[in-house]
Structure 1
Amino acid sequence: MAGVGGGSGSASGAGSPTEAGKQGTARGGAADRGLGHAVDFMLSNARLVLGVGGAAMLGIATLAVKRVYDRAVSVPSSPLKQVQTSRALAVPLRGACEEPAWLTLGHGSSLSRSMVELSQERPREECIELPLKSPSVDCLQNDSSTHCIQSQVSESSRSVLTGSPSLQERLLLYCHKHVDIPPAHAAQARQVALDVCGELRAFLRSRRPDLPLAEPSLGGALHEGLAAGRCYHLALALPLTLETRLWTAVPAEDTLFSCPGHWLLRRDNTEYFPRGASAWDRLLVGGYLSPSSVTDVLRNGLLDSMNWPVIGALLGYVVRPALQSHSEPGFLALEVLYRDDTMWLNEQLNSKLTLEILPRVELTESGEIAPPPGVGQDKESERRRILIARPPGGSGSEALWRESFRAAEVAHLAQLDNTDHGCRRMALCLLKSVARAHDTLALLDSEILRSLLLHASDEPVHWGRTALAERFVELLQRLVGCLERGLLPAYFCPQKNLLKGISEAQLDEMGFLLYSALGKPETLLRA
């Protein structure tokens, strides 16, 4: 038994954790060999004294003590090995978040010592975790573009994890459901407009030869690919034929009107060519051709004289003159109801088209009356000024023709989008849909929104499709600023303020609505 007690003392001395730490991590050293000798000596003596049964019980007890000893000496003896194990476990995290730069800039030795001290003081589970990089540190490093992309990816992944779509996803979904028009629907609407235009052209040639008009042409948002939603709008341009020797275009800003973006059409050479030499002389007001008088003649000669119910029945549509708007006295339009061919089970007339009749006068770039296309040396490709019969309103403005920059603005937007594969036209359709969905924003017409887009395009920012949400929010912020100042210059005519005709109360109401939605722009998206 004394041998057994001596063996136990040797085992306890050899199994102390302090000595095991000094000898290293291998358990097959001198301490393990001494323990094995002690166990063999104890078991040999126990067989003589206790017999076979006692020796078996003693062996089982000794095995239990040995397992306790193994657990005691299994604590890592080298803290540096634990740090390496921690780094090995943290490898999957480095793909998404690398170590901060301040951990690797000449602090290798101090970092190792600090990690050794932490491994001695903290539990093993805490030592496995490494410091992760915060998103703010990424923006301060040299490769800022890569880190910005990582931050956007993290935001999108966060929205996926939370189950709520991001603003980019909401805008794209809204465009797909409520803004984009299927090509088949657009083609059918254009064909309906062409059918109605053919009837108008035939009527003008047979019944109203006294009105010298050039060949009409189609235009408008649907024709330009800028329509938003199922509100189809097309314009039928009726160019007036004016004699170049009898008429002169005068900029309104050079007269007493002082109205930028408008023109006067003055009748000249009355001493050589008296009144009546031109078919439009009967529509003069104070020596100038009146757009209001031209509109009234066309309304009486086209909308009121033609038998639209019979014409619509022959075409398979319902055609009727649109009601005159008090806000736009010069508005001439037809409403056409037709059946959507893509819905072959539905026999109802469920689609509506607004066909606006727009009298206009074309000028050369220098401001002279342009001859009809194909006459003289004038080229088709030469840029022309377009004057439309839309007086600005107010007393004394019946003779003012508004210059339309629509063709130039649409062409410039298309050129910019084709250059950088941008989303400007998509953003324009989004803004038009938002303005139509809110009665408060009804005064934000397409002319205002086009100039807003063009001014924003002058800024050196990315206009790709992936940046639609950012550009949409920036457009809202820019629009709020313009409404607050009450100033939005036309892009191709900076002297003209597009917000001049809107009252201060209406500007404040629109600005408040948009400003309240800056925190959550998705609240503006309505069907």
Structure 2
Amino acid sequence: MEAFAPKRRNSEGTGFASLVDFLLANARVVLGVSGAAVLALATLAVKRLIDRATSPPDGDGDEKAKQKSLEESWQELSSAQTAPKPPHASRREALEEPLLLPAGSGPGHDSEDALPPPETLPAEVKARLCLTLQEKLLVCYQDRASASEAVRTLGRQLSEDICAELQTGLKKHAKLPFGRASLSVDLSEGLIGAGGTLEVNFLLPLVLEPDLWAPIPGEQTVVNDPRVWMIKRTAVEYFPRGSSPWDTFLVGGYFSSNAVTRALRKVLEASVNWPAIGSMLECVVRPAVAPDKLKLEVWHEQIGLDITLCPRAEAGDKTLLAAPFGEPVQHLWQQNFHAVELSRLKELDGRDSGVRQRCLHLLKAAFGTQPCWRKLTTGHLSHVLLHLSGTEPDWSEAALADRFRGALEDLLRRLEEASLPCCFDGRINLLGPLSAEEIEEIGYLLYEALAEPDLWDGIGL
């Protein structure tokens, strides 16, 4: 068997030599002149190593000679590698035939061409590519923060139809003699809530007999809070209990907002056929599970509505809404400035063609990105802008980014002070209903957002 071993080695060597010859023959075309030279020397060295390994030993003299020859071959290879390469132009002239480039590596397949053209990017990605905060805010306002006129029109029609159906259902309950319900100004302003839905308020007026009910400011009661009011039942000696349909909601001689809210929630959940109403209006209408608010969720194929029902009482020129507070304060009515806030912003924008209302929409969108930020209502953000309007004269569109950042910084300062005075009654602190922990959490996240190098990323829009 050992006699066949040298032949097998020689045949293997012959096959290897053929492979080497083929590589050397094509190396000049593929690698160029210098590359072919390097490959030839390297191949020669490797071939000598193989010949030495496959040939029988011939003595110490031949071993030393071959070792020397091998070392010379490696030296020649090293010198060829360290030799200066010819200039790029000479290499190009030396090429006699064009090289076959791999698929996808030609001039039309550069790495830059691998990226999709800008016109194919989604609108949201395009907004990210804007260079300035000003441009990003304008795109956000157009696409996300404000409803279009068509959406507002559809929202108003749906809201009016649902409000009419609710009014019809309430007429069946003599114990809840509400007046004619109306829509708030939120819908006309196109304010969008945290879930991308239009915010709508249904105002349900309470028709109270003026001789039987007397509104009392909160600072004149044990509560001693100008934010809230109490409504006292009067003239009981002349008009005993039962003379007014609202007497069933008395608690300790005062008209209870909690009792009215509970009764109205029962009507919404048990006495109104919302599936039938939704089917008729081609949408889904259902009462929302909210322990402290009366809400309806409406989903249409083109729009979503977030409807809040607000029982409303009048105290002269003041509007009082049912606002249940946590223990131990309950059964109170809260003075509401919502309508006058938005009207004031609209009036100021009309004077100087300002962007206060746009800024309010953008602030609403920004503060809908964090759950704790949602505790700040439209009223809080509106008052920040009203306060800022007293110190900043420029509200042009070119200053939108500056006013937006300024509003956030002013809000952060007021959170640090835990004080946001009402513009229409300086005794009222609008941050009063929030706990110290809630104010600290809101302020901390807002501070982190303002500390980001890019405010856009900080607020998470």
Please show how residues 74-85 of structure 1 align to structure 2 within 5 Å: none
Write the letter of the residue equivalent to 1:216.
Answer: A
CA contact 1:228–1:430 (8 Å) conserved in 2:
no
* TM-score when normalising by structure 2: 0.68
Deviations 1:415-447 (A, max 9, x none): 100001111111111111100012241222111
- Looking at structure 2, the residues matched to 300 and 309 of structure 1 have their Cα atoms a distance apart, in angstroms, of 16
* TM-score when normalising by structure 1: 0.60
Gaps of 5+ in 1: 1-162, 341-350, 365-383
CA contact 1:220–1:233 (8 Å) conserved in 2:
no
**Could you say what secondary structure the match of 1:303 adopts?**
helix
Of 361, 368, 380, the residue aligned with 2:313 is 361
Aligned match of 1:489: 421
Please show how residues 129-148 of structure 1 align to structure 2 within 5 Å: none
Aligned match of 1:309: 275
- Asked whether 1:441 is paired with 2:407, we answer no
- Asked whether 1:184 is paired with 2:118, we answer no
Please show how residues 43-442 of structure 1 align to structure 2 within 5 Å: 165-205=131-171, 207-227=172-192, 230-325=196-291, 329=292, 331-340=293-302, 351-364=303-316, 384-395=317-328, 397-442=329-374
- Looking at structure 2, the residues matched to 252 and 228 of structure 1 have their Cα atoms a distance apart, in angstroms, of 31
Pair 1:515–1:210, CA change in 2 (3 A): closer
How many Å apart are 1:392 and its aligned residue?
3.0
Deviations 1:198-232 (A, max 9, x none): 11122222x12342221110115223333368321
Aligned match of 2:409: 477
How many Å apart are 1:460 and its aligned residue?
4.3
Counting aligned pairs with the same residue, the percent is: 37
Pair 1:480–1:525, CA change in 2 (3 A): closer
CA contact 1:392–1:402 (8 Å) conserved in 2:
no
CA RMSD of aligned residues (A): 1.8
Gaps of 5+ in 2: 1-128
**Could you say what secondary structure the match of 1:437 adopts?**
coil
**Could you say what secondary structure the match of 2:167 adopts?**
helix
- Asked whether 1:466 is paired with 2:431, we answer no
Pair 1:210–1:517, CA change in 2 (3 A): closer
**Could you say what secondary structure the match of 2:359 adopts?**
helix
- Looking at structure 1, the residues matched to 177 and 147 of structure 2 have their Cα atoms a distance apart, in angstroms, of 36
How many Å apart are 1:261 and its aligned residue?
1.8
- Looking at structure 1, the residues matched to 160 and 394 of structure 2 have their Cα atoms a distance apart, in angstroms, of 39
Deviations 1:228-269 (A, max 9, x none): 683211111110000011111100111111011211110000
CA contact 2:288–2:297 (8 Å) conserved in 1:
yes
- Looking at structure 2, the residues matched to 164 and 193 of structure 1 have their Cα atoms a distance apart, in angstroms, of 37
**Could you say what secondary structure the match of 1:501 adopts?**
coil
Of 441, 445, 451, the residue aligned with 1:513 is 445
Deviations 1:468-496 (A, max 9, x none): 01111111111111111111112212222
CA contact 1:389–1:401 (8 Å) conserved in 2:
yes
- Looking at structure 2, the residues matched to 236 and 508 of structure 1 have their Cα atoms a distance apart, in angstroms, of 33
Aligned match of 1:59: none
CA contact 1:180–1:228 (8 Å) conserved in 2:
no
Pair 1:481–1:222, CA change in 2 (3 A): same
CA contact 1:434–1:524 (8 Å) conserved in 2:
no
Deviations 1:355-386 (A, max 9, x none): 2111010222xxxxxxxxxxxxxxxxxxx311
Moved over 4 A (4+): none
- Looking at structure 2, the residues matched to 191 and 441 of structure 1 have their Cα atoms a distance apart, in angstroms, of 31
Write the letter of the residue equivalent to 1:252.
Answer: G
CA contact 2:256–2:331 (8 Å) conserved in 1:
yes
Write the letter of the residue equivalent to 1:192.
Answer: L
**Could you say what secondary structure the match of 1:334 adopts?**
strand
Q: Aligned pair count?
A: 330
CA contact 1:484–1:511 (8 Å) conserved in 2:
yes
